[in-house]
Amino acid sequence: MFKLLMSAASLGKQRTTGGLKPGDAAVWVLLVAGALVMLYPIYWMFATAIRPVDALFNGKFDLIPNDFVWSNFVTSWNKLPFEVYYVNSIAIALIAVVVTVFINLLAGYTFAKYEFWGRDVLFFMLLATLMIPIQVIMVPEFFVVAKLGWVNTWWGVLVPRAAEAFGIFMVRQFMVSIPDELIEAARLDGAGEFEIFRKIILPNSWPVIAVLTIFTFMWRWNDFSWPLVVLHDPSSYTVPLGLNLMKGLYFTDWTGLMSMALVSILPMLLIFVFFQRYFVQGIAGSGMK
Amino acid sequence: MAVQQAPKVRQTEQSWWARNQRRLTPYIFIAPNMLVFTVFLFVPMVFAIYMSLNEWSLIEAPTFIGLGNYVAMAQDPQFWQSLWNTLLYTAGTVPTSIVIGLVVAIGLNRKLPARGLLRSIFFVPVVISMVAVALVGAWIFDDSYGVINNGLTALGFDPVPWLSSQRWAMVTLVVATLWVRIGFNMVVYLAALQGIPPEVYEAAHIDGATGWNRFWNITRPLLGPTTFLLVILNVIYSIHVFDLIYVMTAGGPGFSTTVLVMYVYQAAFENLQMGYASAMGVVLFALLLAFTAFQWRITRQSEGV
């Protein structure tokens, strides 16, 4: 199924299908119109970011900028210590990837391949956590983080989110399809349980590792509400918090806001362009069982 | 002698581990995850339930007031308003994004030129942070200088107070949400559509079923489980909505876009009503559980028929 999506994703292959039925042509025109609408906000971020500032407030409806002021990016970047926000965001996202992928792989594998007392109850509890809005528990959760001395730190942001129910679920769905015989054969050879995980399971799990890596990075990169609770000192802010601060301070500076919003989504856009199929797998996989 | 004894001891140790390894391993493997869940989720959840029975402003020690917060909630018009806003937002986002997602998925499941590129374009907003979505949304819908109002004025219409009127602010938030949600739902539906074997349609074609008939009698029932999952996921997302509203409208103008989650946040961190905030959180959680159980039953019943 994923191969289908992948091959469909490599565009241009069907471009030569000359005779399009009238019905299909109408559908196609509608879809292209829809796609333009979907693309428009990203284009508008760019078109706003590079425009001369006074061209924003003349009330005219012009979709294509006449002047390109590339220095807007530098000016906007220097309004707030964005380099600090980026260092924080990158560090949090990368450390979170290492921690989350490792512990979710272990747990997902366990739920897929081991029989143990309490398994189904625990798994159900994990899924139920998806329903808890963070605002419900953020007060007590914040106290725990404060007790640990993690306010304004990377750890305060990433450790409470390190165990992702969605990630465990994703890994479990994948690992179920690894044949039991592989594991049993290794056991008969006298391999220890962790050795089996490391030498048999991991090498067979690259697709799910890739999916989980990308999703964890995206979750942490885009996080807003939990960092908002944990990070108070502006020097500990992540990029989304920095953007929110910028909106509070310079709320009519749309050049600055759009240029910095555009820069902030650029890493995710690039990852999306190169690893699109993993996004599709991660999301489609959750819907298929 | 000593050299010979050493491996013996090790062997007994090993055999204890060997005997118990398989029994203990699962617990060791899930331990890190469970530790995080317990410390940062289950314990706070229990604590939140306990706190909901207290009055607590953070500054003074908590006082036990039983169900007082729940009684206050029932009499708080702002609570009902925020609950209503949550329902409005959910009703505005969930059916629309699922239906549009399905329509786009069916369209992009056909053999069309550049459909791979089109799929990517519909999907790309999913990877963008809600803060960025909120910022670009606020700018596009800006009352005075936003591109939509500029366009309306250029065409001779009156500008619409998208974000500054109580009537339109919720609509604007729903539209901004659709931008992200359609692509998500489309991808899930697309995967499900591709899982339908072509033979099913071929058989229907021989029986003379076409167009709407084919969709209603074949595609729709086969997509049932996917729709079920998407309804649950979308309702959860909609009820959890925070980032978008916090950045785009901050719950305003007035109280018109303050959803329950937003009101909980304000009660806790702006008004320092920890007990009251917790009580509302507990109610929110109960609502979500009830919804899922309800949805589950409906599906079970319709499958049984």
- B259 close contact with A: CB closer than 8 A: no
Instruction: Enter the pTM of the model.
Output: 0.86
- B108 close contact with A: CB closer than 8 A: yes
The span from the CA of B72 to the CA of A19, in Å, is 67
Main-chain dihedrals φ then ψ at residue B64, nearest 5 degrees: -75, 125
| Statement to judge: residues A148 and A174 lie in one domain | yes
Task: Verify whether the Cβ–Cβ distance A61 to B154 is below 8 Å.
Answer: yes
pLDDT of A3 > 50? The answer is: no
pLDDT band, residue A135 (cuts 50/70/90): confident
- A126 close contact with B: CB closer than 8 A: yes
In a domain, A4, yes or no: no
Contacts 24+ apart (CB under 8 A), A148-151: A150/A230, A151/A230, A151/A231, A151/A232
Task: Verify whether the Cβ–Cβ distance A106 to B33 is below 8 Å.
Answer: yes
CATH number at residue B221: 1.10.3720.10
Which residues in chain A are closer than 8 Å to B261, comparing Cβ atoms?
A: 133, 135
pLDDT of A283 > 80? The answer is: no
Average pLDDT, chain A: 84
Which residues in chain A are closer than 8 Å to B180, comparing Cβ atoms?
A: none
- A127 close contact with B: CB closer than 8 A: no
Cβ contacts below 8 Å, chain A against chain B, sum to 307
| Statement to judge: residues A53 and A195 lie in one domain | no
In a domain, B281, yes or no: yes
pLDDT of residue A286: 58
In a domain, A152, yes or no: yes
Test the A interface: residue of B17, B22, B23, B29 with most A CBs within 10 Å: B29
Q: Which domain holds residue B168?
A: 72-304
In a domain, A256, yes or no: yes
Bridge partners, B54 (sequence order): B64
| Statement to judge: residues A284 and A156 lie in one domain | yes
Domain count, chain A: 2
pLDDT of residue A227: 93
Judged by average pLDDT, the poorest of A57-61, A92-96, A100-104, A185-189 is: A57-61
| Statement to judge: residues A128 and A52 lie in one domain | no
Q: Tell me which H or E stretch contains A87.
A: helix A82-113
pLDDT of A218 > 70? The answer is: yes
Q: Once rounded to an integer, what is the mean pLDDT over residues A182-209?
A: 87
pLDDT band, residue A126 (cuts 50/70/90): confident
Calculate the dihedral angle through the C-alpha atoms of A40, A43, A44, A49, rounding to the nearest 10 degrees: 170
The span from the CA of B222 to the CA of B204, in Å, is 14
| Statement to judge: residues A168 and A37 lie in one domain | no
In a domain, A14, yes or no: no
Task: Verify whether the Cβ–Cβ distance B114 to A11 is below 8 Å.
Answer: yes
Q: Once rounded to an integer, what is the mean pLDDT over residues A145-156?
A: 91
The span from the CA of B141 to the CA of A111, in Å, is 47
Residues 133-172 of B with CB under 8 A from A: 133, 135-140, 142, 144-145, 147, 150-151, 153-154
| Statement to judge: residues A87 and A200 lie in one domain | yes
- ipTM (interface pTM): 0.85
CATH number at residue A127: 1.10.3720.10
In a domain, B89, yes or no: yes
| Statement to judge: residues A50 and A176 lie in one domain | no
Which residues in chain A are closer than 8 Å to B159, comparing Cβ atoms?
A: none
- B110 close contact with A: CB closer than 8 A: yes
| Statement to judge: residues A97 and A63 lie in one domain | no
pLDDT digit string (tens) for A74-106? 888 988 899 999 999 999 999 999 999 999 999
Q: Once rounded to an integer, what is the mean pLDDT over residues A248-259?
A: 87
Domain count, chain B: 1
In a domain, A1, yes or no: no
Q: Which domain holds residue A273?
A: 79-288
pLDDT digit string (tens) for B267-285? 888 888 888 998 998 898 8
- Spell out the SS3 assignment of B207-273: CCCCHHHHHHHHHHHHCHHHHHHHHHHHHHHHHCCCHHHHHHCCCCCCCCCCCHHHHHHHHHHHCCC
pLDDT of A17 > 80? The answer is: no
Task: Verify whether the Cβ–Cβ distance B239 to A229 is below 8 Å.
Answer: no
Query: Where are the alpha helices (H) located in A159-250, listed in sequence order?
Result: 165-175, 180-188, 193-196, 206-222, 225-230, 239-249
- A245 close contact with B: CB closer than 8 A: no
- A6 close contact with B: CB closer than 8 A: no
Burial of A180 (0-12, 13-18, 19+ CB in 10 A): exposed
In a domain, A74, yes or no: no
pLDDT digit string (tens) for B165-204? 888 999 999 999 999 999 999 998 988 888 888 787 777 7
In a domain, B180, yes or no: yes
Of B77, B95, B75, B73, give the one whose Cα is nearest residue B85: B77
Of B173, B304, B145, give the one whose Cα is nearest residue B246: B173
Residue ranges for chain B with pLDDT beneath 50: 1-8, 305
pLDDT of residue A2: 41
